Structure 1
Amino acid sequence: MKIAWLKKALLRVEGEYLSRMGISLPIIAIIVVALADLAAGRDHFLTPGIIVAPPLAAITVSWQRTIFIGFLGLATQAALSPYDGVTDVNDHDILFGQLFAYTAVTVFSVYIAWRRETGARAFTAITSVAEAAQHALMRPPAPRVGGVRLAVRYVSAADAAQIGGDLYSVLETPHGVRALIGDVRGKGLGAVQTSAVVLGAFREAAFDEGGLERVAQRVDTSVGRNGTSGDFITALFAQFDKPDRVELLHYGHVPPLRVSRDGEVEQLVPTDPWLPLGLADMVDDGPTPWRVPLLPGDVLVFCTDGVIEARSPADNTFYPLEQRVGPLVKGSSHDLDSAVERVYADLLGHTGGSLSDDVVLLLVAPIPRPLPAHPQDPPVVTG
């Protein structure tokens, strides 16, 4: 995956640098060429070098200022022509050739500047729409939701976009904290539309339904009604109704990992693997939720397949999340933000800084309930 946020950061730095240079860069080029021509004497004809000024303006200033630079360069060449003796040349084809080449480059530079400005405005509009869509679909959760702490890292594979086919949601409901992480087959607008269907159905069912299996059935029904033909979504549902356990329901998604306080990692393989959402009607029954005990300091690591299928450019191996996540997450149940950044940085290090798929990393740690206060000793009564 070409990392959209990194590209945008680099483009922003480059744009700010060029913006600070502004119109001074092409003007400096004109001045340098003019001074070099004067220093070289009448026997040297260096003014054609001014032809570099319009292209420099095309990448630093607006198309209107690029026109100004073009005229300024042309005026400079005209002013230096008598000094260089160009007007005394019998063959005026040299002058016409220079004028034609300079005019052509200037016109092309003005066009490039106009296209650059148009592209920048379109990019800004697309980014704004993507940010609005991301906040509408993937509402960033607070660091604490109900009785759990959490941290998330979401990156879309699409350039200039911030949403994709991966999805997640964490909600505080009357039934406890309920979470969903999933991955829609495919990419692009179709995947985003299916993500919207899944998240909308989950946010409704999570409050209404009493069991995870009923929540999943509601989501699956909504996908069947509103999704496009052939859509399916790998999904993992979780419910935190007590601090010492989590209830999981698996629909073909990547199994979560449990990292203990001392860094031991256990893959929570479902006892009842099942088909993804959208394909559940191919069988009669549904998966059975199962409960996993949690100890103080445990952290649950949820992810999408963009994490475990990320390849190293050196040896083409997949990212070994289960082997690496322990030291990166252990003892971090009170600081999950730092932990998720460490895991994501390690993932980028493995892949050489680029990923090929959407990525969701979600870390969740239940908050232990405080111990009840010891009752005070009864007062001593003396006779």
Structure 2
Amino acid sequence: MRNARIVGALRSLEESVLSRQGMGLPLLAIAVVSVTDLAAGRDHYIGPGMVVAPALASITTTWLRTLLVAALGLASQVLLAPYNGVVEIHDWVLLTGQFTTYLVVSLFSAYIAWRRETGQRAFSAITSVAEAAQRALLRPPGDRVGDVRLAVRYVSAADAAQIGGDLYSVLDTPHGVRALIGDVRGKGLDAVQTAAVVLGAFREAAYDEGGLTRVAQRVEASVQRHVGTGEFTTALFVEFDGPGSVDLLHYGHVAPLRVAADGTVTTLDPPDPWVPLGLGALVKGVPAAWQAPLCGTDVLVLCTDGVIEARSAQDGSFYPLADRVGALVAGLAQNLETAVERVYADLLRHAGGSLGDDVVLLLLAPAAPTPLPPTA
């Protein structure tokens, strides 16, 4: 009967706080040690094993709750003491050492939990600032810009910063919808600064200049003026200025893919490949834009090299975007959010759940015409 009362009291204590965040594992440890002690009989005292409970709490919950777990563990040992005959033991040095050890471990566990909480708060603050900086830099568009539908996934490999050197922008301009996707050499704050220069120049030139070549020349001039020598940015410029086609301009970037409604994938290789932005002084002339067919049921898939260079967790192979994107995107020209989510999920599966480089997936498609209201 006494055993049943002890077990019942322990269960009541556990159930009263089991819903608290992160308390499940340390409370389970208390219950396991208590039940094991009871099952082992009076000749075996397993109470000292209760020290595992506050240690577990230090990595699963707050420092205050860690102290609560420590108190519950101590209470459990006190409840178990009569059953094990501990109160009859006259070796008080042994008992004092046991409880002193438990107290020290409990206080140290609370300190570890406090340090972990402090680090998490600092990390959250850094992440919040970085996310705000990312939004200010990239200015994520809605699901439609002008007469173009779009969906995007941006993922930075710099987890703490949440921002990297990949960039994109989609703008509705007097010259049509214009888009840019790019990848800055390197990472960190220098890459972010270069991305800011490229995006700032593009946002100005896209509204002012006629023709993608002139837009790109303005961006190139800004990069050479404001970015250090030897730094460069691969880029692809896109312009939707009429139905049935799209204009493209290549600056060393990953070639875009066109996915038809039936899943047929066409790689739009540039007839005039060019060096990345920032290296224009090394070559003569300027690149020429080219035009590719793009009907209302097609999807234009743009990405950075973090997508096609994502390695399989099993065999180390690169992600075969051109081979897989057709089945993932086919027929979704007017539902690009679903399409980009399917491609990104497939990319993560290929990479084993984590990516080693910044990634931008940008899907563009001509928007279906808005139906006219019925006439009276």
CA contact (8 A) 2:302 2:363 kept: yes
The 1-side partners of 2:193 and 2:18 are apart by 38
Distance 1:21 1:319, change over 3 A: closer
What does 1:34-73 align with in structure 2 at a 5 Å threshold? 42-71=42-71, 73=73
Distance 1:356 1:83, change over 3 A: closer
Task: Show the counterpart of 1:275.
Answer: 275
SS at the partner of 1:238?
strand
How much has 1:324 moved relative to structure 2? 1.9
Task: Show the counterpart of 2:354.
Answer: 354
Task: Show the counterpart of 1:10.
Answer: none
How much has 1:100 moved relative to structure 2? 3.6
Cα-to-partner distance string for 1:83-104 (whole Å, 9 max, x where unaligned): 6454655654423431342133
1:128 partnered with 2:128: yes
Cα-to-partner distance string for 1:290-349 (whole Å, 9 max, x where unaligned): 122223312211111111112223332222222222222222211111122222222223
CA contact (8 A) 1:243 1:368 kept: no
Distance 1:258 1:61, change over 3 A: closer
Task: Show the counterpart of 1:312.
Answer: 312
CA contact (8 A) 1:19 1:61 kept: no
Distance 1:78 1:345, change over 3 A: closer
The 2-side partners of 1:109 and 1:143 are apart by 48
Deviates more, 1:74-83 or 1:187-196: 74-83
The 2-side partners of 1:332 and 1:39 are apart by 62
Deviates more, 1:347-356 or 1:107-116: 347-356
Cα-to-partner distance string for 1:219-265 (whole Å, 9 max, x where unaligned): 12222232244321000001111112211111000111112222222
The 2-side partners of 1:302 and 1:290 are apart by 16
The 1-side partners of 2:39 and 2:294 are apart by 81
CA contact (8 A) 1:233 1:277 kept: yes
SS at the partner of 1:20?
coil
TM-score by length of 2: 0.84
CA contact (8 A) 1:246 1:291 kept: yes
Task: Show the counterpart of 1:178.
Answer: 178
Amino acid aligned to 1:261: A
Task: Show the counterpart of 2:14.
Answer: none
How much has 1:177 moved relative to structure 2? 0.5
Task: Show the counterpart of 1:289.
Answer: 289
The 1-side partners of 2:346 and 2:78 are apart by 60
CA contact (8 A) 2:212 2:237 kept: yes
CA contact (8 A) 2:334 2:368 kept: no
How much has 1:178 moved relative to structure 2? 0.5
Report sequence identity in percent. 66
Distance 1:114 1:370, change over 3 A: closer
The 1-side partners of 2:213 and 2:359 are apart by 26
CA contact (8 A) 1:18 1:59 kept: no
The 1-side partners of 2:109 and 2:39 are apart by 29
Q: Which runs of 5+ in 2 are unaligned?
A: 1-16
The 2-side partners of 1:364 and 1:283 are apart by 31
How much has 1:65 moved relative to structure 2? 3.7
Task: Show the counterpart of 2:303.
Answer: 303
Higher relative contact order (CA 8 A, sep 6+): 1
Number of paired residues? Answer: 356
SS at the partner of 2:180?
strand
SS at the partner of 2:241?
strand
Task: Show the counterpart of 2:102.
Answer: 102
Deviates more, 1:179-188 or 1:286-295: 286-295
Deviates more, 1:69-78 or 1:242-251: 69-78
The 1-side partners of 2:38 and 2:353 are apart by 50
Task: Show the counterpart of 1:119.
Answer: 119
The 2-side partners of 1:302 and 1:230 are apart by 25
Q: CA RMSD in A?
A: 2.9
The 2-side partners of 1:318 and 1:302 are apart by 17
The 2-side partners of 1:158 and 1:21 are apart by 28
TM-score by length of 1: 0.83
The 2-side partners of 1:29 and 1:318 are apart by 44
The 1-side partners of 2:265 and 2:22 are apart by 54
Q: Which runs of 5+ in 1 are unaligned?
A: 1-16, 373-383
Task: Show the counterpart of 1:168.
Answer: 168
1:149 partnered with 2:139: no
Distance 1:81 1:209, change over 3 A: same
1:158 partnered with 2:155: no
The 1-side partners of 2:83 and 2:371 are apart by 93
The 2-side partners of 1:291 and 1:42 are apart by 86
How much has 1:170 moved relative to structure 2? 0.3
The 1-side partners of 2:227 and 2:135 are apart by 21
SS at the partner of 1:115?
helix
How much has 1:353 moved relative to structure 2? 2.4
Distance 1:162 1:22, change over 3 A: closer
SS at the partner of 1:135?
helix
The 2-side partners of 1:346 and 1:49 are apart by 46
Task: Show the counterpart of 2:195.
Answer: 195
Amino acid aligned to 1:215: V
The 1-side partners of 2:31 and 2:312 are apart by 49
Task: Show the counterpart of 2:221.
Answer: 221
